[in-house]
Amino acid sequence: MKAEIISIGTELLLGEITDTNASYLASKLPELGIDLLWVTQVGDNLGRLKECLERAWNRSDLVLTTGGLGPTEDDLTREAIAEMTGEKLSVDPDLERGLREFFSFRSFKMPECNIKQATLIPSAQAIPNPRGTAPGWWVEREGRLLIAMPGPPSEMQRMWEKEISGRLRVRLGHEIILSRTIKTFGFAESAVDEMVSPFLSSTNPTLAVYAKPDGIHLRLTAKAQSKEEAEEMIAQMESDIRSLLGESIWGCDDETLEGVVGSLLSEKGLTLATMESCTGGLLANTITDVPGSSSYFKGGLVAYTNGAKISYGVDAALLAQHGAISPEVAGDMAEAARHRLGADIGVSITGVAGPTQVEGKPVGTAHIAIDDGREKRLIFGIYPPLRQEVKRRATYHALFELRKVLLSYSNTPSETVKF
């Protein structure tokens, strides 16, 4: 099946945003056995958009569009598809009802221009979009398929994952492509690359290595005639890779470090509290991104000054003696957070996020401590000296170490822990 992507929006052509939607979709098509031959970016202009859609419709079996489904005059994707197919746009009563409910729930009157988002043409079905007001369109005609998705990446990605990819898979039948992502923390990308180099030339399953904010990810992809066969191929390579990367592996596929840590805390009935300086709230924020985190997360303290640290219970003499950026103070911060908030485990981060060094310590250094009342685990980290990068890496580093501590609470050896 030959596919084509059309990314719609003048902001792309002005270079204000980069077309990550196209690369997201491009990365998802191979596992469905779909060949992508073209990607086109076009602005919010009815004539050019229609021309683009017509060419795509004539040369491709599947046309994917993103953008141009908003409520404003600039949003012309629906109009252009209607013109291309020669069909008439009309308001769908179910869509209209849903849209009005969306606004009334928020105690807003629906602006009349939003009614555009409730329109369809006869050969289009609406694709649900719980993250926004723009439903997608699934258009089938003349044996061809056009799928129009909204432009905001979170809306588009959810729609692709939950509403579109499964439906396409059923429609396409045949060969199965299965992927599994193994997630690691602690090694550099080039180090992981060297360790797994014997597998990088394998053609089925294939292995690819990616650097992500939460560590290095390895993606194994197998092609086979059945799901079982593909799973068997992946399991074999995964087992080899696990023996190479060992304890640096913390999760798989959709798992996040904060989710893994949250599940372990829930499972073991433990509660958590944090005190952080250089990460400025990112640790607490990441922990609370997990739905249900209120059952194990007691609270967090963001201490941007020594005064704040002392008021949270950190020993002033220790601060004076070792400075705020020290393992001693990190340990005391973790203990104080635990006591202060009545939690089983306290985690702390203190370091230098930049732009300038502190206490003679360079930007990018951090001390992490985990105190569970039995012992204090102290960890030192050095990260790329960019503010956001220091905040992000130190946060994931702390969660990675916390996971290890939590696993030690169980008698189960770590390699058989179910991810």
Interface positions, 134-153, toward a second copy (CB under 8 A)? 152
Q: Which stretch, 16-24, 136-144, 224-232, 239-247, contacts a second copy (CB under 8 A)? A: 16-24
Q: Does 284 bind a second copy (CB under 8 A)?
A: yes
Order of strands across the sheet with 345-351? 272-276, 345-351, 365-371, 376-382
Q: In the complex, what is the shortest distance from the CB of residue 134 to a second copy, in angstroms, rounded to a whole number?
A: 11
Is 191 a binding residue for a second copy by CB under 8 A? The answer is yes
Query: Residue 124 carries which side chain, given as an amino acid letter?
Result: A
Q: Which of residues 52-71 bind a second copy (CB under 8 A)?
A: 52, 70-71
Establish if 107 lies at the interface with a second copy (CB under 8 A). Answer: yes
Which of positions 314-353 make contact with a second copy (CB under 8 A)?
A: 340-342, 353
When binding is defined by CB under 8 A, the residue of 86, 143, 173, 291 that contacts a second copy is 291
Which is closer to a second copy, CB of 2 or CB of 97? Answer: 2
- Give CA–CA dist 235/221, Å, rounded: 11
Instruction: Write down the least CB distance from residue 385 to a second copy, Å.
Output: 8
Q: Which alpha helices (DSSP H) does 4-45 contain, by range? A: 10-13, 20-28
The answer to whether 95 and 118 are in contact (CB under 8 A) is yes
Q: Which of 403, 405, 406, 416 is nearest to 239 (CA)?
A: 416
Given the complex with a second copy, which of 144 and 387 has the nearer CB atom? 387
> Which neighbouring-strand residues pair with 2?
35
- Distance separating alpha carbons of residues 381 and 366, to the nearest angstrom: 5
**Which tokens sit at 361?**
């310590």
Q: With binding defined as CB under 8 A, does residue 409 bind a second copy?
A: no
Q: Does 288 bind a second copy (CB under 8 A)?
A: yes
Among 194, 228, 247, 375, binds a second copy (CB under 8 A): 194
Q: Of 211 and 417, which has the nearer Cβ to a second copy?
A: 211
Q: 3-state SS of 149-216?
A: ECCCHHHHHHHHHHHHHHHHHHHHCCCEEEEEEEEECCCCHHHHHHHCHHHHCCCCCEEEEEEECCEE
Q: Which residues contact 144 (CB under 8 A, 6 or more apart)?
A: 57, 60, 61, 62, 63
Q: The tokens of 360 are what? A: 């003679």
Which of 1, 40, 165, 327 contacts a second copy by CB under 8 A? 40
Q: Is 180 in the site for a second copy (CB under 8 A)?
A: no
Residues recorded for the chain: 419
CB 199 within 8 A of CB 237: yes
12 binds a second copy, rule: CB under 8 A: yes
Please report how close the Cβ of residue 411 comes to a second copy at its closest, in angstroms: 30
Instruction: Write the binding mask 84 to 103 for a second copy: x where contact by CB under 8 A, - elsewhere.
Output: --------------------
